[in-house]
Structure 1
Amino acid sequence: LAKTKPIKRFNSPLRKAAALFKELHANNGSKIIARSTTQDRMTKSAEYFLAGFFGLEWPTNVTLLLAIEDSTGVWNNSLAGYYNCNNSNNYRSAGGNNATIEWYETYLADATARLQKLAPGFGWTPKDSYDAQSLCAYETVAYGYSQFCGLFTYEEWQGYEYSIDIQFAGNNAFQSPTGRAVGIGYVQEVLARLQHHTIDSPIAQINVTLDNNTATFPLDQSLNFDFSHDTNIMSILTAFGFTQFAQFLPSDRIVPHELVVSHLEPFAARLDIEIINAPAPVKASRNNTDLYEEGKATKYIHFILNQRTIPLHRSFPDCEERDDGWCELDIFLAVQSKSFEISQYDWACNGDYEAVPYGEVTNGVPTQTSS
């Protein structure tokens, strides 16, 4: 969550970035709090990022606060919200997994037959073919190359990408009954920061011990860094209500769609939330050199996912359509004031409701209401 100063113009992107960084990093000369979790890869991801951002002397600029990540759900942790949401870890939220199986049994039928001929006696299954594709992906990231990659055609790799999209849609996003609930704790933290207050009562995954203390949940930082998981970020987008990613993805064919995980949540995905303080209302159209309209100072919010703007009017009709994708902050906060209620957190995470087939859930909450 980044807060910027009034709009300024610079002669080059590099000069703009340097000037903006200098203003944001100042933080009144004090160290900032950054947050991650105790899971090893989460801790290291935070440390390496901070070293890249601040330099190897980053501990002189940042205190890294680690929330306990534990699968028992004993410790509240908005950065791994699924551990505080029982139904996100059982059959009720398995629609994405089920749909993925249906899909890879379709698109990998030819590959499975082809690979079976190369490995007689092995009993090659579509699941084995799918696992081989996953090995390609992970080995390529870890080692730079994998011999498994060449076993599949371009079309089969398109099928693999779509399988991940289906999985996220059904497990973590709008086709999951816990899609909103898993991310709603972090959304409440963002809203608290934006409205400059701590959180002093239990709600969703909030760790009240940490979030009710400005030493561990500061309200005046110019920069905030939070490190989370890819599936958790997907649920955060769902909890905010980014319905441009709510399209149903069928499990028998690839359709044009916007929830593409390799675009939204690749390795090292980054979601930036900027607050822009403008000295006057900024024109929605940028077709001329005159940026401002008549009026008083106005604050805007801007979401950037992997260096691409998420246009807020696409998901929130109360936000005007703008070239920059921004929304007036007051309007956005009014929209989000209903986000916790919409998430149905307690019922979604702890309710005894029936699982429904993939595709019946469309809004990230259970189709059945609590009695």
Structure 2
Amino acid sequence: MIFEIALVFASIGCAQASWIDGAWLGKRQATATSASSTATPAYFQTVPELLAGPTPTGDAPFLPEYNPAPFPSVSYIPPQPLETQVPISGNTANNNIFQLFGQLSHYFANPTGFGANEYRLPAGANISAVYTLHRHGSRYPTTGSGAPTTGAKIINATGTFNATGSLAFLNTWKYQLGAEILVPIGKQELFDSGVSHYYNYGHLYPNNGSKIIVRSTTQDRMTQSAEYFLAGFFGLTWTQNATLELIIEQNGFNNSLAGYYDCPNNNNATLAYGNLALTQWSNIYLANATSRINSMISGKLNFTVSDVYNMQSLCAYETVALGYSPFCGLFTYDEWQGYEYSVDINFYGNNMFGGPSSRGTGIGWVLETVARIQHKFVSSAQGPLNYTLDSMASTFPTNQALNFDFTHDTNIAAILTAFGLTQFAPFLPATAIQNNRSLIVSHMEPFGARLDIEIIQAPKPVSASRNGTAATDYASGNATTYVHFLLNQRTIPLGASWSQCGNRTDGWCEMGAFLNTMSTKFTESQFQYACFGSYPNVTYSASGVTNGVPQVPQKK
């Protein structure tokens, strides 16, 4: 395979003059080597295929058009890959702890939904475009994070302690994790997602032989996630169908797929209120676990609450990397529920409505998507955007029906906040689990998470209160266009956050109402002030930051 790499670096002023735009565009195009120009024996040759037999393909599927599922008001879960099994104390209902790992959960579709009923596409309606924002797949832990830190502490103390009971495995335990790149199941998550997206949106691929532009970042796991997804969507010859655009993910380069680099205050530890909440909550829910685990060990090793918390993270990372982790069985079901909640409050205070720069961090992708929906380039007067790329049709196509972007969990969380999806805004206290909360990171940001924004063309207005039968699908009137948000295969009811969309049972929003709502989102993000301004710290509380912007307004 021959790779064509195009390098593009440009310096164009943005909201902060000292920051620059930049892009590294990897335009990967496979060139088939003919049999006559290579010394490869015919029996080793795979491209071009020899004696392949009949190869006609069928039409691209359009599953939403004829799929009778999902049914109104009925829960459903698509088939899941196999998971390891661990006996968990207190798990009387035989619930699945592997879906309580927050952002470290192996991908699963949201099992409970976000409050909207799920409906098939009405007869005669069509999905005309999709804008997908996709998280990378399961990976090894971040360099220098809690899991490898506690892992190193254990390894460095090996031979100086003796562990007993359910902790006895620690006497011979080895740290076997890498750092940051995809693990095998993470590659499968993205491949499977590509297949799933083809069944739903394959009909949108242009039949004129042109390629689509797909965007990701230069991080290894980001590049590979995009490639495995495209292999699932198009097959191993995906380079004939798509050009992969890789945007630099580094400090100093504007990139809506890594918005935290465009927003310095998002990296200010003193403004990371979610970290404070996590510490407060972990000291509560892991108090018994810390005492219990330390009682099973003697010698020169003692675990802090932070270490014990990291053991829960090690359970999650070892499960996706190795298939099994002995750390998982150290904790009760209540403690696993506590872990899930710890992730929720951490995301709330760092990356969502409890974080003062959350809207500013996510607003770039919101602006890009609204522009693409309107078949426009982004205005150069707004936002933390890479104007070098966003002003060129070759890198920012505005008439593309299939749009796939790849990003990170915290960036998706900030984007949901920048959209103003306030159903996830209610404050989460750091003192007790809120069982009826709407913000559950396991359901929103597992590995391989995906936000699909569908544009639906209907021949008439779709009834706001339909019951799933064809007779109730339509009201009288003219052709109408709708916006439909799906997060991990479940509908986000847009009317729950945006009053202009109305109280629809299907959660859709009429296009005009959607665009009117979006017209204020950049102003609401307070981008310049939230990301570059100086404002006082506040405590993590219901009277603190709860709208994704600084509590103290910018001085006029």
The worse-fitting range, judged by mean Cα deviation, of 106-115 and 21-30 is: 21-30
Structure 1 residues 320-335: aligned runs within 5 Å: 320-335=502-517
SS in 2 for 1:282: coil
Q: For 1:318-338, what per-residue CA distance to the aligned partner results, in whole angstroms no more than 9, with x for missing partners?
A: 111112110001101101100
Structure 1 residues 133-172: aligned runs within 5 Å: 133-172=312-351
Deviation at 1:117, TM superposition (A): 1.1
Pick from 236, 246, 254: which aligns with 1:76?
A: 254
Deviation at 1:10, TM superposition (A): 2.6
Cα RMSD of the aligned pairs, angstroms, is 2.0
Pick from 74, 98, 103: which aligns with 2:281?
A: 103
Asked if 2 retains the 8 angstrom alpha-carbon contact of 1:202 and 1:208, the reply is: no
SS in 1 for 2:402: coil
| 2:390 is the counterpart of 1:211 | yes
| 2:473 is the counterpart of 1:289 | no
Structure 1 residues 200-349: aligned runs within 5 Å: 200-201=379-380, 203-256=382-435, 257-287=437-467, 288-290=469-471, 291-349=473-531
Asked if 2 retains the 8 angstrom alpha-carbon contact of 1:77 and 1:207, the reply is: yes
| Residues 321 and 305 (structure 1), Cα distance of their counterparts in 2 relative to 1, 3 Å cut | same
Instruction: Tell me what 2:110 maps to.
Output: none
Deviation at 1:93, TM superposition (A): 2.8
Whole-Å separation in 2 of the counterparts to 1:40 and 1:109: 38
| 2:348 is the counterpart of 1:187 | no
Deviation at 1:23, TM superposition (A): 2.4
Deviation at 1:203, TM superposition (A): 2.9
Deviation at 1:11, TM superposition (A): 6.6
Asked if 1 retains the 8 angstrom alpha-carbon contact of 2:274 and 2:348, the reply is: yes
Deviation at 1:204, TM superposition (A): 2.4
Asked if 2 retains the 8 angstrom alpha-carbon contact of 1:7 and 1:277, the reply is: no
Instruction: Tell me what 1:3 maps to.
Output: none
User: What's the % identity of the aligned pairs?
Assistant: 57
Whole-Å separation in 2 of the counterparts to 1:196 and 1:161: 40
Amino acid aligned to 2:470: T
Whole-Å separation in 1 of the counterparts to 2:511 and 2:261: 31
Whole-Å separation in 1 of the counterparts to 2:307 and 2:63: 54
Instruction: Tell me what 2:221 maps to.
Output: 41
| Residues 163 and 18 (structure 1), Cα distance of their counterparts in 2 relative to 1, 3 Å cut | closer
The worse-fitting range, judged by mean Cα deviation, of 359-368 and 194-203 is: 194-203
SS in 2 for 1:26: coil
| Residues 20 and 69 (structure 1), Cα distance of their counterparts in 2 relative to 1, 3 Å cut | closer
Whole-Å separation in 1 of the counterparts to 2:524 and 2:289: 43
Instruction: Tell me what 1:350 maps to.
Output: 532
SS in 1 for 2:246: strand
Whole-Å separation in 1 of the counterparts to 2:470 and 2:459: 16
Whole-Å separation in 2 of the counterparts to 1:233 and 1:327: 20
Highest CA radius of gyration, 1 or 2? 2
Amino acid aligned to 2:260: Y
Deviation at 1:242, TM superposition (A): 0.5
SS in 2 for 1:231: helix
Instruction: Tell me what 1:62 maps to.
Output: 242
Instruction: Tell me what 1:115 maps to.
Output: 293
Asked if 2 retains the 8 angstrom alpha-carbon contact of 1:313 and 1:325, the reply is: yes
Instruction: Tell me what 1:88 maps to.
Output: 266
| Residues 92 and 187 (structure 1), Cα distance of their counterparts in 2 relative to 1, 3 Å cut | farther
Asked if 2 retains the 8 angstrom alpha-carbon contact of 1:31 and 1:61, the reply is: yes
Q: What is the aligned residue count?
A: 363
Asked if 1 retains the 8 angstrom alpha-carbon contact of 2:64 and 2:200, the reply is: no
Whole-Å separation in 1 of the counterparts to 2:331 and 2:373: 48
Whole-Å separation in 1 of the counterparts to 2:239 and 2:345: 40
Q: Which runs of 4+ in 1 moved over 6 A?
A: 16-19
Asked if 2 retains the 8 angstrom alpha-carbon contact of 1:109 and 1:126, the reply is: yes
SS in 1 for 2:339: helix
Whole-Å separation in 2 of the counterparts to 1:110 and 1:328: 51
The alignment's TM-score, normalised by the length of structure 1, stands at: 0.94
The worse-fitting range, judged by mean Cα deviation, of 85-94 and 274-283 is: 85-94
Structure 1 residues 353-364: aligned runs within 5 Å: 353-359=535-541, 360-364=544-548
Name stretches of at least 5 consecutive residues in structure 2 with no aligned partner. 1-61, 71-120, 122-196
Q: For 1:293-320, what per-residue CA distance to the aligned partner results, in whole angstroms no more than 9, with x for missing partners?
A: 2211110000000000001111111111
Name stretches of at least 5 consecutive residues in structure 1 with no aligned partner. 1-5
Instruction: Tell me what 2:183 maps to.
Output: none
Deviation at 1:208, TM superposition (A): 0.3
Q: For 1:325-353, what per-residue CA distance to the aligned partner results, in whole angstroms no more than 9, with x for missing partners?
A: 10001101101100000000010000011
Amino acid aligned to 1:369: P
Instruction: Tell me what 1:10 maps to.
Output: 66
Asked if 2 retains the 8 angstrom alpha-carbon contact of 1:27 and 1:221, the reply is: no
Instruction: Tell me what 2:554 maps to.
Output: 370
Deviation at 1:147, TM superposition (A): 0.9
Instruction: Tell me what 2:75 maps to.
Output: none
